[in-house]
């Protein structure tokens, strides 16, 4: 079974045709449980997200801030496995029809087997994989498997990336480019800043791929700010925090739906 890279491209192109940025949400699989995580992810999509990233919880999430680390820890203590991540992708896609990607560190994929992981992710209806710590130079085997199974390979670029490096990364990627808005770990920020706008400009000079900005966006106002210059706005920690702070699951789901709606309005606000 082929993956859904074409669906991902179509959804991003449709947002652009509507003169807006796409809204990309993130939650780790298995949080707060596997079944409840599926509910939360489908709620995000029903509430206004166009695309969703399912995190593969990792015991050493070096790029993630304390909010996502807490959620990962809950999922890992709950016994989440790669099979649960794939189940989450499958159910979220089947229930909503939306493109669903996996965001993961390379080590779990390497141990599982890149070819096997690509085949299983495609079979689950996945659209691709975001691999923030996989160097382009070491990605050939993965990209070959991803291409064979119709999956996007999304690489992360950062403000520290030189133009020559950006060109190398974007030439190897597919689906979209994940632009980290600032140096450091994930989390909500008071301001997304000018670094992100400059990074998008420099990245666009190297590629026709959509450029989506993540790290730090948590409010409709910030989403509107980023939507002025990016093709997509990625929000993770703010969704996780809604679930962590809620007194019970139903309240958390309501908060997730409300946030998705607010952010969806934000990405449609263009000057």
Strands 177-180 and 156-157: parallel
**Is 245 labeled as catalytic in the residue annotation?**
no
d(CA 140, CA 161) in angstroms, rounded, equals: 20
Catalytic residue among 50, 53, 91, 225: 53
Using only C-alpha atoms, the chain has a radius of gyration, in whole angstroms, of 17
According to DSSP, residue 159 is labeled T
**Is 53 labeled as catalytic in the residue annotation?**
yes
Interaxial angle between packed helices 220-227 and 249-266, expressed in degrees from 0 to 180 and rounded to the nearest 10 = 30
Torsion angle, alpha carbons of 83, 85, 88, 89, to 10: -100
Catalytic residue among 6, 36, 64, 265: 64
Nearest to residue 9, comparing CAs of 231, 235, 180?
231
Residues marked as catalytic: 53, 64
């Amino acid at each position: 079974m082929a993956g859904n890279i074409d669906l991902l491209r179509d959804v991003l192109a449709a947002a652009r045709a509507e003169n807006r940025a796409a809204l990309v949400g993130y939650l780790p699989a298995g949080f707060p449980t596997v079944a409840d995580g599926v509910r939360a992810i489908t709620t995000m999509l029903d509430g206004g997200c166009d695309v969703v990233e399912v995190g593969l919880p990792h015991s050493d999430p070096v790029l993630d801030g304390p909010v996502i680390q807490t959620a990962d820890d809950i999922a890992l203590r709950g016994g989440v496995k790669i099979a649960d991540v794939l189940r989450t992708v499958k159910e979220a896609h089947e229930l909503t029809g939306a493109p669903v990607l996996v965001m993961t560190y390379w080590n779990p994929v390497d141990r599982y087997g890149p070819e096997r992981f690509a085949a299983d992710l495609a079979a689950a209806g996945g659209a691709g994989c975001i691999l923030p710590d996989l160097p382009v130079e070491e990605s050939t085997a993965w990209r070959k498997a991803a291409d064979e199974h119709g999956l996007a390979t999304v690489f992360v670029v950062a403000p520290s990336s030189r133009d020559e490096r950006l060109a190398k990364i974007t030439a190897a990627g597919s689906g979209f480019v994940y632009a980290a808005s600032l140096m450091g770990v994930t989390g909500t920020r008071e301001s997304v800043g000018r670094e992100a706008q400059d990074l998008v400009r420099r990245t666009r000079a190297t590629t026709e791929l959509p450029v989506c900005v993540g790290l730090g966006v948590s409010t409709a106002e910030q989403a509107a700010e980023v939507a002025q210059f990016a093709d997509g706005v990625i929000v993770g920690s703010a969704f996780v925090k809604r679930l962590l702070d809620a007194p019970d699951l139903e309240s958390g789901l309501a908060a997730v739906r409300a946030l998705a709606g607010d952010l969806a309005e934000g990405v449609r606000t263009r000057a």
